[in-house]
Structure formats: C-alpha cells, structure tokens
Amino acid sequence: MTTLTIVNPSDETVISEIEAFDVEQTDAAIERAVTAQKLWAAWTPADRAAALRRFAAAVEADVENLALLEVRNSGHPIGNARGEAAHVAQVLQYYSAAPERLIGKQIPVAGGLDVTFLEPIGVVGVITPWNFPMTIASWGFAPALAAGNAVVLKPAEWTPLTSLRLAELGLQSGLPEGLFQVLPGEGRVAGDRLVTHPEVRKIVFTGSTLTGRSIMAKAAAQVKHVTLELGGKSANIVFADSDLEKAAATAPYAVFDNSGQDCCARTRLLVERSAYDRFMELLEPAVKRFVVGDPADSATEMGPLVSKPHFDKVASYVPDDTEVAFRGSAPSGPGFWFPPTVLTPRSETDRTVVDEIFGPVVAVLPFDDEADAIRLANSSAYGLSGSIWTQSLDRALRVSRAVEAGTLSVNSHSSVRYTTPFGGVKQSGLGRELGPDAPLSFTETKNVFIAIGAQ
C-alpha cells in the first residue's frame, strides 16, 4: 500500500499518513460515480438545488474547522483560511441557483418544433493543486454538480485534508453516495487514471502548464472535454499618473499573498521610468511591513512555503550572489520560510522575469511609455491575470484591451470573484471557470426536432 505523508509546513512535523488510491480503487470510485450520476440527474432541478444549499450550509457551519485544517496542512494564515472556507460555501450557494435555470431554447424552424436540452456530461474528474486546495476544488465541483454531473476529485498529494473533509460534508448534507468523491493519491496514478478512464467525460485541471499539456494530449485520445487553468507570470503595470502611494502599498499583496504561491500573482512589476525611483522608495517600507509568521496568528499576512521541495525550487531563483533590491523578514528555525524578496533584474529575459517562480519573489522592470508597457506585459508565454494602475480612463481601457490576459483589474489586484468568469489565454489555459455560465461548460447541448404535419 502506498501512503501520502502529510507535513505541516510551519514546523515540518508529520500530521498524518493517508492511503493513496491505486488504479483499481480509482476505477471502483469512477464506477460508483457512474451509478450515482444517473440517480442525481433523475432528481428534479428543485431537489438538486436544495441539496446544494444544504451542502453550502454544512460548509458554512464547518468554516472554523476547515480553516484550522488548512492552516496545519498548507500553512495558510488563519485569516486567509477562514475566507477560503467561507468562499466554498458561497460558491455552492451561488451555483445552487443553477439547476432550475439550466434551460434550453425553442428555435423557429420550418415543418415542426425544434428545442434544445442541456444534458449533463456524466462523470467529471477534477484535479486540484496544492496552493488553494478548498477554493479551486469548489470552482470545479460546485458547477459540475449543479449541472447534474458526478464528480471525482483528486487533490494534490501535499494538501488533501480539506478536500477530504468537504466530501464528508457533502455526504452529511444528503448528496447521494458516490456522487462527490475525493481520492487522495499520486498524480501519475489516480490522476492519470481519471484522464484515461473512458467513463470520465471531462477533466478540470488546475496546475502547471507542463502537466496541463500532458493531460490535454491524453484527453485527446478519447476526445474528452478539458478545462485547464495553468501557469501565470502576471504583470502589475504602474503608470506615472497613478496614485503611486496606493499602488506601492498594495503591490506586496499582489505578489506575497499565499507566499506567492498563486498563479495570479503579479510577479512582474512594470513601472513607468519617470516614476520608478519614487515608486521604489514607497515600495521598500511596504515590503518590510509585510507580516510573515505563525499562520495561526491572526496578524500574520504570509506563512511558509508549502514543502521542502518547493522551498528549494524557489530558493534556486535567488542564490546567495543575487543582487536583491530589498527584502522583508521571515522566521528562522523549522519550517519552509522564505522572505518577501524584490529583485531588479538587468534584462527582461532574465529567468526571474520569464519563469513562474511560484514564491514570494517579484521582479521590477522600468518601461518608457504605454506601448513599451504593453510590449513587456505581452512578452510572456502566459496570460492569466494582471493589474493596470492609472488615473486615465482612456489609458485604462486601451491597455486593458491590448494586454493579452484573461482577467485584468484597474487600480486593483482583484482576480477572482465567483460571480464573474476566470481563466487565461496563451499557455495559461483553456476555458473559463466561475461566473453565471460555468455550469454550461458541464453540459452537452442536445437538439431535438419534432416534425409537425400539415392539417
């Protein structure tokens, strides 16, 4: 039997050992999901909506427990973790309205009546990352369940605990047995089997671009639906006419939130050359004020990195001889602690500018004018998110249309609202999650023509 060792990233203690699902166990779970999905799809839309509302209420009642699990398993600050758990309840509540609103169309045609139906796809495999285990899981399973599907969720090996708890809450709230299952296991075993099993009709994956490419290639063998939310190297563009004090004060949160382990992190900070020196003067104290420490402390703004292998990867981008502009502080001793770090690379092709580091490291580059800012922002292979700081509405609209990214914000760093679409372009992925249309991506449109004879 293979097991997963779950480690607390704050102090490196072992939390638990969890059995990892093998191929046979994964196949059995998928078969249970096939049976449960047929039962679930036969429920009335009103009954499915009520079940999702009960699920949302169960999660809401368990927010503190879920948050404490995330603090221990992922190292998220307790304030963040509470917000993440509450977010899951909100996503479920939002999509509980969908079953009764998934309506087809009547299309005028000659010779009869033509109608469309939105049919569930069947069994959906959701493969989630370790950086936001609860929230990203809910973006997949909530709209999929609302559309009448069953969900088999494979969480990341390092952070399965909150997903397992969510599955328990789903059962307690009255979801049919087998409808929403969580399979802890290795990606190359349980995750791969979800992708290759013919009864899994869609894969929702959030993770690295490299793994996303592999999943896409394997899914092509069965012409399987995929939604891919992949890497990012988002730009935070600060123009000289912006509120520089606000832009500098908020920039650390755009990078260092969740220890930089966020595909939306604005890790390329582009500043108009005429404002560069003043902006850096304002940024340094903001970075040094950023509170890094015990995730259980409500004052903490940033916890540790998730694991020793990931710590080593992040550290490889900032070797001892790196010219660091300035840094924040971080605890010493046990735990995977990495201080907030600001770099000023000399080249826009430096690997700290190009690669997704996925840690609390930001590269600051100057630009000359609006066209140069757009060129730099679009020079990445990724296109997930980004921010634009300016007091000119004209410029905000021009640059927003010109920057190649799926989710942008002006004078803000907001990337995710469950009420609006989220996703990327280029190598940041395919498809969109969240927003009112998300359940549609878990349906097939069936067209039915009924001939009507003349009297």
The residues annotated with a catalytic role in the active site are 229, 263
194 vs 225: CA distance, rounded Å: 12
Retrieve residue 56's tokens.
Answer: 């949302």
Show Cβ contacts of residue 171 under 8 Å, excluding neighbours closer than 6 positions. Answer: 177, 180
134 vs 137: CA distance, rounded Å: 5
433 vs 387: CA distance, rounded Å: 20
Phi and psi at residue 34, to the nearest 5°: -60, -45
Write down the H helix ranges in 202-243: 209-220
* Helix (H) or strand (E) run with residue 323 in it: none
328 vs 326: CA distance, rounded Å: 7
Retrieve residue 147's tokens.
Answer: 């559309």
Q: Is the dihedral of CA 390, 391, 394, 396 positive or negative?
A: positive
* CB-CB neighbours of 58 under 10 Å: 20
Query: b/e map of 358-394 (b: 16 or more CB within 10 Å)?
Result: bbbbbbbbbbeebeebbebbeebebbbbbbbbbeeee
Residue 340, Cβ density class (10 Å: 0-12 exposed, 13-18 middle, ≥19 buried) = buried
